[in-house]
């Protein structure tokens, strides 16, 4: 079967089906997991980011201090120091009014765990010089959630790392599909990695192939090893200018194959189209939410 593909492959540059392009950039574990994890985590990111205190940035430099009057003390839905058996201390917010150095009435709000001020009480406040709208009660913060909550950025960052890896793989594969030469390669090693996908071990499979009498290797990492072990030799596409740049055809998402007329075909077109919905929904949903939040 591998030799049949080798003989029939159309000369470069060849047409790569649109569904195949969609698959290599949106399909496969890296892309699907990355977009799903990134999209799911940004939901929580949008919910919590607006309430995170960024005072460590706002209050760099000289500060002005004065006195304000608490106009409203209220309990938020946030608590701190909680555990499985302890709900923690509720966070309270305090709206206050004061006059800046120009005598202009200003308003602000600060947060802290536990109730410490009543309506009408005087409090000491501070604000960055010339920015009274950024005022806070001394010892408190301007966001209901502490700076430590920025750790939630780790989750979309993980998803983004998978997305970047998937896109890089697509960028690597596309020119080989379009202009690469084909050769058959034989499996010379199969090594288990420390990664698991759906409780299945990811293996590193190394194939060896020959170009102009020189030996080269092509590597694929997958938990679906059967796709690369169903033939005695596997089809490989390589860069004619540098055979060290190669890809195993059967390692690409979408089951990209070679037709009898030598043209490429994507056997799982619908899987790629379905996978493309994830980035579309994620990007579209985030843009829509951002516009709704900041334009209203």
Q: What percent of the chain has pLDDT over 90?
A: 51
The residue written with tokens 């999209």 in the block is 39
Separation CA 101–CA 45 (nearest Å): 37
pLDDT digits (tens, 9 = 90+) for 46-93: 888 878 888 888 898 899 999 999 999 999 988 877 666 677 789 999
CA angle 63, 68, 70 (to 5 degrees): 130
Domains of the chain and CATH, by start: 2-42+154-270 (no CATH), 54-144 (2.40.50)
pLDDT digits (tens, 9 = 90+) for 253-281: 888 888 888 888 888 878 778 888 889 99
Tokens of 90: 């509720």
Tokens of 237: 């596409």
pLDDT digits (tens, 9 = 90+) for 208-218: 999 999 999 99
Q: Considering only residues 126 and 258, tell me which one the structure prediction assigns the higher pLDDT.
A: 126
Separation CA 285–CA 296 (nearest Å): 16
**pLDDT, averaged across the chain:** 88
Which pTM was predicted?
A: 0.75
Query: pLDDT confidence of 132, banded at 50, 70, 90?
Result: very high
Q: What percent of the chain has pLDDT over 70?
A: 95
């Amino acid at each position: 079967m591998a030799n049949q593909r080798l003989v029939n492959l159309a000369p470069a540059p060849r047409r790569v089906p649109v569904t195949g392009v969609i698959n290599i950039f949106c399909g496969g574990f890296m892309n699907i997991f990355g977009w799903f994890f990134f999209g799911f985590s940004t939901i929580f990111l949008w919910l919590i980011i607006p309430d995170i205190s960024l005072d460590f940035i706002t209050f760099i430099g000289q500060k002005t201090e004065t006195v304000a009057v608490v106009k409203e003390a209220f309990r938020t839905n946030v608590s701190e120091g909680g555990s499985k058996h302890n709900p923690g201390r509720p966070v309270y917010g305090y709206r206050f009014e004061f006059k800046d150095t120009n005598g202009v009435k200003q308003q602000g709000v600060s947060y802290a765990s536990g109730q410490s001020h009543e309506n009408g009480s005087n409090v000491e406040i501070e604000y960055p010089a010339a920015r009274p709208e950024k005022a806070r009660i001394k010892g408190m913060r301007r966001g209901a959630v502490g700076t430590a909550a920025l750790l939630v950025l780790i989750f979309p960052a993980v998803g983004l790392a998978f997305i970047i890896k998937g896109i890089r793989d697509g960028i690597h594969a596309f020119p080989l599909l379009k202009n690469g030469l084909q050769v058959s390669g034989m499996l010379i090693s199969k090594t288990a990695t420390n990664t698991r996908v759906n409780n299945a071990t990811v293996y590193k499979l190394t194939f060896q192939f020959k170009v102009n009498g020189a030996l080269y290797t092509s590597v694929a990492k997958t938990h679906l090893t059967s796709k690369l072990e169903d033939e005695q030799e596997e089809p490989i596409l390589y860069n004619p200018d540098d055979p060290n740049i190669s890809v195993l055809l059967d390692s690409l998402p979408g089951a990209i194959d070679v037709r009898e007329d030598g043209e490429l075909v994507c056997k799982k077109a619908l899987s790629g189209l379905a996978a493309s919905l994830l980035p579309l929904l994620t990007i579209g949903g985030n843009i829509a939410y951002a516009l709704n939040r900041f334009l209203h």
